[in-house]
Amino acid sequence: MPKLLIATTNAGKVREFESLFRGLGIELVSLKNIAGYKEVPETGATFAENAWLKAKGYAAQSGMMTLAEDSGLCCDALEGAPGVYSARFAGEIKGDAANNSKLLSLLENLPVNCRGAHYESHIAIATEKGELIGACSGRVCGVIHPEPIGSGGFGYDPLFFYPPFQKTFAEVTLEEKNRVSHRFHAMQKAKVILVTYLQKSVKV
């Protein structure tokens, strides 16, 4: 069975990948399984650039086919912020709660029609030699709720209110979230890229 390194240590992301890739016939490995790896700096100006930097960098270190994803929250009223800085919005080691608190303070007193936001996900897949197999993206639109609700999900999920569900992403099950999430849309495209690549590899 071919192995695919998912270039993250984020347990929440890994669970989503496992759920979305179930039945694909690929063994998923996370960075926690790679001894002594060196973190690849996310120096790109966009999600797409960061995804490719990580895919190429971790493939070179592990010698494995690697999927890297960069994603985040983009708020209309903040001109797309926190964007590529979503994970470290409140500082390098502050964490989800601090990020959410900072976001709420910046959007304080804004009416609902000014609290629009979207999650965006970009994926890059590299061969074990660090060559690009393919790249794709996905997004989901919602509204920033004035206070955190729910105990599920991770990141900004307690604030990300999804109108079709009338709930935040932290209030729904993983299965419900996966049906509509930015990562789901990107991963569906990534599945096609992977299956096509693996089929070609078998024929060669």
Single out the residue of 91, 112, 111 nearest to residue 101, CA to CA. 91
Element spanning 187, H or E: helix 182-203
Beta strand 167-168 with 160-162 is antiparallel
Whether 96 is a known active-site residue: answer: no
Pairing of strands 116-126, 66-75: antiparallel
State phi, psi for 136 to the nearest 5 degrees.
-160, 175
Return d(Cα 50, Cα 68) in angstroms, integer. Answer: 9
Give, rounded to a whole angstrom, the gap between the first and last alpha carbons of the chain. 17
Check: CB of residue 65 under 8 Å from CB of residue 21: no
105 exposure class (CB count in 10 Å sphere: 0-12, 13-18, 19+): exposed
Catalytic (active-site) positions: 70
